[in-house]
Amino acid sequence: MSFSFLVREYINWLYHSKTRHGVHSPFVYRFIDECLYKKTDTKPLAGILEQRKKLSKDKSILKYKDPGAGSKTKNNIHKKSIEVSVSRLARYSMQEKRFILLFYRMIQYFNYQTILELGTSLGVTAACMSRANPAIHIDTIEGAKPVADIAKNLFNNTDVNNIFLHEGFFDEILTGVIQNKVYDMIYIDGNHKGEKLLHYFHTLTKHINPNGVIIVDDIRWSASMLKAWYEIQKHQKTRVTIDLFKLGLVFFDDRLSRENFLIRF
């Protein structure tokens, strides 16, 4: 992802994006007003967010084979073997706090109970989501064992017991993990190749609740990811998409009109 590409995309997105006042869909307006822009009570997440801070300062070195399209760290892009400190990995792979809190609010707002996450990373996002609903069940997949081990420690240290972590590459274990399952919310983050994103999306649309959502991270990671995002918007099952610049939300409720929104967040 070149800096110039990102700047051009941001300027274009900013020009076309809206706040809730420019939205005429009742579903999207309510979502923006009652969930997207709502403040979060972070007290239930205090322990997890404290662990997040500790990970951002951990200088331990991890070595593993990159399961995705390359690390975001400057010196490791597109390399097959990764050697990186936990703090550097946390800096580049952990989801932004504002989006973690958004996922937390979405689970409560829509009463989601079954979650699939592709790309556990250090486990912070899954752990926070697990606090949103006492009845929640989360399947999360991580391809790098040393990274998965850190996530497991985080889950143990924060008394999380409703997350089921599956170790392995997406292409090798995804089918087995999702077999006979339907999810309310699916979060795709891990492999940043456009063709892979489309493959996972097409597969997962068969496992999403009609009232559910698929969240795609890093939709502007590269030209191929952005192209894949535009293809997702055209998918026959897609009804409403919300483009938050970094990530996109895809809703499938047949009662909704087909519309694509660019929303400032």
Q: What is the mean pLDDT of residues 37-62?
A: 97
Confidence of residue 20 (pLDDT cuts 50, 70, 90): confident
Confidence of residue 68 (pLDDT cuts 50, 70, 90): low
Strand partners, 185: 115, 213
Instruction: Give me the amino acid identity at 192.
Output: H
Q: What is the mean pLDDT of residues 156-161?
A: 94
d(CA 212, CA 186): 8
pLDDT over 90 (residue 190): no
Q: What is the mean pLDDT of residues 255-261?
A: 96
Q: What is the mean pLDDT of residues 13-31?
A: 94
Per CATH, which fold does 3-44+93-262 belong to? Rossmann fold (3.40.50)
Lowest-confidence segment of 11-20, 60-69, 129-138, 200-209 by average pLDDT: 60-69
Q: Give residue 77's pLDDT.
A: 44
**pLDDT of 236-252, one tens digit each?**
999 999 999 999 999 99
**pLDDT of 196-236, one tens digit each?**
999 999 999 999 999 999 999 999 999 999 999 999 999 99
Confidence of residue 2 (pLDDT cuts 50, 70, 90): confident
Residue found under tokens 């293809």: 231
Q: Please check whether residue 94 is in contact with residue 72, taking contact to mean a CB–CB distance below 8 angstroms.
A: no
Helix ranges restricted to H, 111-182: 124-130, 145-157, 170-178
Q: Give residue 69's pLDDT.
A: 54
Q: What is the mean pLDDT of residues 20-26?
A: 91
Kindly list the domain boundaries of the chain, sorted by start residue: 3-44+93-262
pLDDT over 90 (residue 22): no
pLDDT over 60 (residue 155): yes
Q: In what order do the strands lie in the sheet with 163-167?
A: 163-167, 137-142, 114-118, 183-188, 208-216, 248-251, 240-243, 259-262
Q: Give residue 47's pLDDT.
A: 97
**At CA 208, angle to CA 221 and CA 37, rounded to 5?**
60
Across the chain, what does the average pLDDT equal? 93
Closest C-alpha to 213, from 167, 265, 256: 256
Q: Give residue 66's pLDDT.
A: 78
